[in-house]
Structure 1
């Protein structure tokens, strides 16, 4: 079954049955007759292949299937946010947003161009917002259109998750988890959590998307990934996101194994005399590096190369006298192999909080909750704990 077979008004009716407990009250709440809401519920149960409610003399009681599905239906409708959105309008708007043209949307959906135009135009008129603007021969979403597309995407994800939850209930595991991994999460914490998770849930589809925060934050907000792990931002600028702390990371100053400063306990004045390889402007690590010298009243050293890739930084350090500031977890293999050496710890106050960022509206599945619990178990008992030892 695909979500496009759902009737959004019928989903609203099912949510109301769950909330109000009787067919009569739910019918009044969604402006349907009792026979109509009874027919809608029967059709939904037939489509899903499971009963959603037990009919008792004192009202309707949720089945296990309804306990899984109703929160998803409610979340989807909250994201969609308007009774004027029908499933055909939702599908057309998302196809247009994803494809960037009506022709592309037709190819994605198999719907005719007139149907797509009509659905998007009707949605725009009913919402009293211009969702699409024409620029010569091209079309583009307006600001209102982009906001609407994001809301509809999140609604679609909730409905797709509902079907995956239902399939799991029937014994056909289709649930998934998409994790955005920023650099500081990749060395130890994330691999350890993934190892534990796949042992417990071998059939759950797990996808890891690597990137910087700038590359991952919009996919997170749009629902393409479920959560993001890495250095937290203070303050958090996106009002639709929330952050949960995991552990403090303490960066160190690194150089090649036979660097002239090795074994000398160098001061900040000593470090300022050497060229550096450091993250680009705006990255938390770059901010911490700049603060390290500014607090000591020193001019910033020469930045020979701006780089965020640990692999690139490692090779540049090995072949030069440059220094860098990184978490020891990020270069644990290089340190153990003796390619790099820790010259000194960073001054106090430069520790970075590592944590999980999610959408404020996110309602995780049980397997997604379990993954987050694995992260907390690996880090909560001891912030300096090495998860690879588990």
Structure 2
């Protein structure tokens, strides 16, 4: 068999597996059984004449042959989908941009950028979705996203080790903050000393006791520089829920600086002094190659939205 004998269904399934990272997650997303996904992958590997996935305890990883097939599969599926849209009389691919973002970027930067884009370029359609940074990176590789806002923590490594490297632009680099109830004693000053964070009650993301893990901010909770195991009083995935719990006096939480403009009443967001600097970068990532004009317009709107938050653009 040859790769040209591969079915479109098998290519779609393979792209989904590459994006989701596990056969189980891909099967759930597609509404298939896991055995059906396995059969499609096996058929594609027979057509390619090579193993495309390395099965690991934590999911799957693309082999060198798998990375080649993924690039081709993404192109084929995109072309078929573009043709279907044209036949249906929907906007063509040049006017549609698929944007991914992690949670705190969606609270302020993305809405501001989309509002400006609608005013300046109403013909451009932007489809967005939220995700963890590793998931967004896989989606870029799989060709299901055109652009992604992702986060990065020191030592600021590349978002993945695949080749060719993703095009990554640093939009801003800013320190983390701590969100404190307005009536809390720590809210009286203009900053919080790291020593005063000891013994506090914290609101954290599920499964995480310390905030600001590498590559994503959704698990933020206790200040990451603490030299003690903090008390997690409440666990919440949603940013609004966490901040409303802070406003209710239920505890403190760590937040990225860009979220400061979106906090509800009853919350003060303060810098922390003492201990190591807790810097985080907001990155705009895409696959290498020429950027379509519609995607370039979206990228410009995102840069302007970041500037409007008072952040300073920095070099990668």
TM-score range, shorter chain: 0.5 to 0.7
Other structure's SS at 1:250 match: strand
Deviates more, 1:273-282 or 1:201-210: 273-282
8 Å contact from structure 2 (residues 167, 286) kept in 1:
yes
Residue equivalent to 1:76: none
* Secondary structure of the corresponding residue to residue 247 of structure 1: strand
Q: Which has the higher helix share?
A: 1
2:263 counterpart residue number: 334
Structure 1: gaps spanning 5 or more residues: 1-83, 109-116, 133-140, 386-390
Provide the C-alpha distance between the structure 2 equivalents of 1:149 and 1:325, rounded to a whole number of angstroms. 41
CA contact (8 A) 1:187 1:330 kept: yes
Q: Distance in 2 between matches of 1:270 and 1:96?
A: 51
| Structure 1 equivalent of residue 302 of structure 2 | 375
- The alpha-carbon distance between structure 1 residues 160 and 321, as it changes in their structure 2 partners (threshold 3 A), is same
* In 2: Cα distance, 1:324 partner to 1:153 partner: 42
CA contact (8 A) 2:222 2:230 kept: no
Is contact 1:290–1:300 with CA below 8 Å preserved after alignment?
Answer: no
Does 2:226 align with 1:274?
Answer: no
The residue that corresponds to 2:121 in the other structure is 201
Structure 2: segments with no counterpart, 5+ residues: 18-22, 32-38, 54-59
1:362-389 CA deviation, whole Å, 9 max, x = no partner?
A: 543211111112223444699537xxxx
* Correspondent of 2:184 among 239, 256, 259: 259
Q: Superposition RMSD on alpha carbons, in Å?
A: 4.4
Is residue 292 of structure 1 aligned with residue 292 of structure 2?
no
Tell whether the 8 Å contact from 2:192 to 2:272 is kept in structure 1 after alignment.
no
Equivalent in the alignment of 2:136: 216
Cα distance, 1:272 vs. partner?
A: 0.9
In structure 2, the partner of 1:238 is 160
Larger radius of gyration: 1
Equivalent residue, structure 1, for 2:6: 89
1:357 aligns with 2:285: yes
The size of the alignment, in residue pairs, is: 274
- Whether contact under 8 Å (2:101, 2:130) holds in the other structure is yes
- Secondary structure at 1:253 match in 2: strand
The Cα offsets for residues 260-296 of structure 1, whole Å up to 9 and x where unpaired, read as 3221454222211211223426724578965533xxx
- Return closer, same or farther for 1:383/1:163 CA change in 2, 3 Å cut-off: farther
Decide which of 235, 240, 243 is 1:314's aligned counterpart. 243
Q: Say if 2:213 is the partner of 1:283.
A: yes
Q: Is the 8 A contact 2:220 2:253 kept in 1?
A: no
Question: How is 1:61-140 mapped onto 2 (pairs within 5 angstroms)?
Answer: 84-86=2-4, 88-91=5-8, 93-94=10-11, 97=14, 124=45, 127-130=48-51
| Gap change, CA 1:382 and 1:309, over 3 Å in 2 | closer
**Structure 2 length normalisation: TM-score?**
0.67
Q: CA deviation at 1:180?
A: 0.7
Q: 1:376 to 1:260 in 2, by over 3 A?
A: closer
CA distance in structure 1 between the partners assigned to 2:237 and 2:160 by the alignment: 23
Higher relative contact order (CA 8 A, sep 6+): 2
State the TM-score, normalized to the length of structure 1: 0.56
